[in-house]
Structure 1
Amino acid sequence: MTNAPTPLMLTEARQTPQVIERQLRENQGAVRAVAQAIRERQPAFAVTVARGSSDHACTVLKYALETTLGLPVASGHPSVHTLYGATLRLGGALVIAVSQSGASPDVVETVRMARQGGALTVALVNVEDSDLARTAEFVLPLHAGEERAVAATKSYLASLTALLPVLADLTGDEALTRALEGLPDVLTRTLTLEADAADRAERYRYAESLITLARGIPFGVAQEAALKLKETSGIHAEAYSAAEFSHGPKRLVHEGVPLLAFTGADAAGEAARRAYADLMESGADLLALGTGEAPSGARHLKVPATGHALTDPVADALAFYLFAAHLALHRGLNPDAPPMLSKVTKTR
């Protein structure tokens, strides 16, 4: 394993600090334009449109919009329009589409329908000359550069940050502005956790199933983690809210299914920590990962704090990507070559 080429997944994840610095620098004009449009048009609600990793980024953005602007956010299902033929009444809505490639026809057509119906449409997209970028009224480029690994890393992380300067502008949140300015440096420090992440991952080299847990803002990172574990290691992984897992799914602890628990330092962090402590008392095999505090006695991949609840998930996700890539390597797998998968999926 030590003589093998470095996977693209790791190479691209390590580029994230530069990606975020470039995005913050080059998107200033677009940020002002989107913020001004939201001020002028005062959308009553928001709808996100995305698939896969981009949809997991939208879960984080949902919490961001609802907690900062009080704007209700729904996850749109593109097939409602493209397969069922329904035209949704989205006049007065803020519609946010997130896509690395901007090439999926169902996402593009849903945004086209929304814009024609009077919605304020914003695309967070990496390919700036894509169909999606041309269809939306406003574009916030991800600036992730070419991403060749099938498992998205830097584009997902850039999706988490692209809208945050708009929220900082709209709310006057100086703490968020400072956290964004310092985020590239914190992400550089996060990359120094790679050896620890590889060490933690070795424990799960023979795992067949794994549950990812989070509560609140980091839940979209838990969703992304479950996808990446499936994608890169073939592990049957599922994401649950820490608040929901203790209902029926807790039964899986008895079966020895290990838990990857994301910790946060936000308003939900203490509730999540208590839930994790209760699971450990029930005998759960639990690894904590994140910026928040872990239960006493838990194994913990502690991630540097970024200074704001809305930027902490970026560092958490980057640390997880290091963990996931090395887990695949421990299992003798190439995380860049998952069977049956390709980089761009064009869903209709």
Structure 2
Amino acid sequence: MSHLEREIAEQPQVLRTLLRAQAAPVGAIAAAIKRFQPAFVQIAARGTSDNAARYAQYLMGIVLRMPVGLAAPSVHTLYGAQPNLARALVIGISQSGKSVDVLQVISDARAQGALTLSITNDANSPLAQAAEYHIPLHAGEERAVAATKTYTAELAAVALLVTALADDDAMRAALNAVPDALDATLTLCDPIAGWAQRYRYMPQLACIGRGYNYCTAFEINLKVTELCYITGVGFSEADFLHGPIAQISPGFPVLVVAPSGKTLPTLLTFLEKLKARQAEALVIASDEAAFVHAQQQMRIPAATPEWLTPITAVMPGQVFAMQLAAAKGYDLDNPLGLTKVTLTL
């Protein structure tokens, strides 16, 4: 078994450990944030962690009504500028905690008096040490270069923080049910191995999501791109309709993340448009209506509320990327030209 396959399977237990170990510490962090009363939130991240930041942008904006921006680290590093972050909650997300540019954002923010928080898988990393507060992921060593269990742990850490800030018992109960939902999702992913090889020669893929699962479209695209070496793009369904849909010709593969919730009606209409263009639709969903025009179905549990579906919906995408890479004969643990820790300025 590859490290990648094993780490995908470890995700339910990683989340159980994280949610159990960090409930009280994150509650204390939430209390500190409430005392600070930030005017806005700024999140710095790169790569897969940037997709976790996208999730935080939606969840904090919707549940907490907080304005959330994604940092441009080059503003701090290459250009040497320091935007005014004095009244902000500034969050740095990095699996390794070694991203130099993310570290610079946190360091600049803390020097200005901002409240700083890091989310990493290494409590002794530079980023964890630089921030005033830290949420460890409890994911254990991740040996495959493509991040899987650390990504869903980042999503869970964000969800745990927002739940603590909202102080909502229903949200806590829903979040604590997610590890079991991931167990169920892993079983639902079994059929993917039977049809993934159909796509071993596809040169391109569009990944579409919206709302909470905007991040999921980007993360699945990243996994397919880095593991399978194809040209992929991630889009909001709304943005895709503003021009990029013109590229869709018969047989063009489009992966659509369409869980039940506020975005499902527009995504059903989008799937009808894909059908009219004779696209090849690969759909991640729980509602049967989403599969009407799907060539391939990837099911997720129906009971998970929309705000938590990014944690479950990404798993079929991870499995698809893994199975497709295996069908193409590629190294699942060490994609060409990639390293586990990427240092950028």
Same fold (TM over 0.5): yes
Q: Does 1:327 align with 2:324?
A: yes
Aligned residues: 343
Residues 185 and 299, structure 2, Cα contact 8 Å, conserved in 1 = no
Per-residue deviation, 1:295 = 4.8
SS in 2 for 1:311: helix
Check 1:173–1:305 CA distance in 2 against 1; reply closer, same or farther (3 A cut).
farther
Q: Which residue of 2 aligns with 1:18?
A: 13
* TM-score normalized with structure 2 length: 0.96
Residues 180 and 311, structure 1, Cα contact 8 Å, conserved in 2 = yes
| CA–CA separation in structure 2 for the residues paired with 1:129 and 1:29 | 20
Per-residue deviation, 1:246 = 1.8
Letter matched to residue 33 of structure 1: A
Q: Which residue of 2 aligns with 1:296?
A: 292
User: Over residues 100-135 of structure 1, what are the superposed CA-to-partner deviations in whole Å (9 max), with x where a residue is unaligned?
Assistant: 000111111110101111211111100110000000
| CA–CA separation in structure 2 for the residues paired with 1:32 and 1:195 | 37
| CA–CA separation in structure 2 for the residues paired with 1:200 and 1:160 | 28
| CA–CA separation in structure 2 for the residues paired with 1:291 and 1:313 | 13
| CA–CA separation in structure 2 for the residues paired with 1:81 and 1:168 | 31
Per-residue deviation, 1:167 = 1.6
Q: Which residue of 1 aligns with 2:44?
A: 49
| CA–CA separation in structure 2 for the residues paired with 1:99 and 1:297 | 38
Letter matched to residue 39 of structure 1: K
Q: Which residue of 1 aligns with 2:282?
A: 287
Q: Which residue of 2 aligns with 1:277?
A: 272
SS in 1 for 2:199: coil
SS in 1 for 2:90: strand
Residues 94 and 119, structure 2, Cα contact 8 Å, conserved in 1 = yes
SS in 2 for 1:24: helix
Q: Does 1:221 align with 2:216?
A: yes
Q: Which residue of 2 aligns with 1:129?
A: 124
* TM-score normalized with structure 1 length: 0.95
Check 1:200–1:218 CA distance in 2 against 1; reply closer, same or farther (3 A cut).
farther
Residues 42 and 89, structure 2, Cα contact 8 Å, conserved in 1 = yes
Q: Which residue of 2 aligns with 1:313?
A: 310
Per-residue deviation, 1:217 = 0.6
Q: 1:185-224 alignment to 2 at 5 Å?
A: 185-224=180-219
SS in 2 for 1:287: strand
SS in 2 for 1:164: helix
User: Over residues 195-252 of structure 1, what are the superposed CA-to-partner deviations in whole Å (9 max), with x where a residue is unaligned?
Assistant: 2122232221111100000111101011011111110000110001111212211122
| CA–CA separation in structure 2 for the residues paired with 1:161 and 1:290 | 20
| CA–CA separation in structure 2 for the residues paired with 1:41 and 1:285 | 50
User: Over residues 23-49 of structure 1, what are the superposed CA-to-partner deviations in whole Å (9 max), with x where a residue is unaligned?
Assistant: 001112321121101211111111110
Letter matched to residue 8 of structure 2: A
- Residue range with higher mean Cα deviation, 122-131 or 186-195: 186-195
Residues 250 and 277, structure 2, Cα contact 8 Å, conserved in 1 = no
Q: Which residue of 2 aligns with 1:178?
A: 173
| CA–CA separation in structure 2 for the residues paired with 1:343 and 1:31 | 27
The one of 135, 138, 143 equivalent to 1:140 is: 135
Q: Which residue of 1 aligns with 2:99?
A: 104
Q: Does 1:86 align with 2:81?
A: yes
Per-residue deviation, 1:147 = 0.3
Residues 123 and 136, structure 2, Cα contact 8 Å, conserved in 1 = yes
| CA–CA separation in structure 1 for the residues paired with 2:78 and 2:202 | 38
Per-residue deviation, 1:305 = 3.1
| CA–CA separation in structure 2 for the residues paired with 1:26 and 1:99 | 19
Residues 96 and 122, structure 2, Cα contact 8 Å, conserved in 1 = yes
- Residue range with higher mean Cα deviation, 30-39 or 155-164: 30-39
Check 1:200–1:174 CA distance in 2 against 1; reply closer, same or farther (3 A cut).
farther
Q: Which residue of 2 aligns with 1:3?
A: none
| CA–CA separation in structure 1 for the residues paired with 2:334 and 2:217 | 22
Residues 66 and 72, structure 1, Cα contact 8 Å, conserved in 2 = yes
| CA–CA separation in structure 2 for the residues paired with 1:141 and 1:291 | 31
Residues 179 and 306, structure 1, Cα contact 8 Å, conserved in 2 = no
SS in 1 for 2:129: helix
Q: Which residue of 2 aligns with 1:337?
A: 334
User: Over residues 153-200 of structure 1, what are the superposed CA-to-partner deviations in whole Å (9 max), with x where a residue is unaligned?
Assistant: 000010101021222222233332111111111111111123212223
| CA–CA separation in structure 2 for the residues paired with 1:277 and 1:295 | 11
Per-residue deviation, 1:284 = 1.5
Give identity over the alignment, percent.
38
Check 1:175–1:276 CA distance in 2 against 1; reply closer, same or farther (3 A cut).
farther
| CA–CA separation in structure 1 for the residues paired with 2:248 and 2:89 | 41
Residues 250 and 280, structure 2, Cα contact 8 Å, conserved in 1 = no
Gaps of 5+ in 2: none
